[in-house]
């Protein structure tokens, strides 16, 4: 039990240091503020569930998991550009995966739900739930895997 508490304490300290470093590099993003009633009127039932209630899509739901066209991925709630297509990779986890976000567009929140300690990623403009970030991404790039719900993003085609 003592080892578990020490481990949790060390993870907590490490997470705090990561968050404080991330905050120093953020760029200013215009905030989108709506009431929950306004979000319910704007979003579909599934979008509201994932983006506002922190739900999770079923694996491979929505078709963006194996989608690799050139363009950008935007927040489905507020249209903020979040990810470039060149940061997307196939992780075989069942959800769209990116190794990096566009600087300043994603905020990180400690998530202790479901008996786990994870880092939630949310849209910097509207605070909508996007998914979680993990340290099992491509080692040759960032080593990060932004595991994103398909419902929380929409693809905007780029130049061909």
Active site residues: 147
- Whole-angstrom CA distances from 80 to 54, 73, 107 are 18, 9, 13
Asked whether the beta carbons of 128 and 51 are under 8 A apart, the reply is yes
């Amino acid at each position: 039990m003592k080892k578990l508490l020490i481990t949790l304490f060390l993870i907590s300290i490490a997470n705090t240091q990561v968050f404080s470093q991330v905050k120093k590099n953020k760029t200013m993003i215009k905030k989108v503020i709506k009431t929950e009633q306004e979000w319910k009127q704007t979003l579909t039932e599934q979008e509201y569930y994932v983006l506002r209630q922190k739900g999770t899509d079923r694996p491979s739901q929505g078709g963006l998991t194996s989608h690799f066209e050139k363009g950008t991925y935007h927040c489905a709630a507020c249209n903020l550009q979040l990810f470039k297509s060149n940061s997307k990779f196939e992780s075989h986890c069942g959800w769209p995966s990116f190794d990096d976000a566009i600087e300043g567009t994603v905020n990180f929140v400690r998530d202790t739900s479901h008996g786990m300690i994870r880092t939630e990623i949310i849209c910097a403009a509207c605070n909508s739930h996007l998914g979680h970030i993990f340290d099992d991404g491509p080692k040759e790039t960032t080593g990060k895997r932004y595991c994103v719900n398909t419902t929380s993003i929409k693809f905007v085609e780029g130049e061909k």
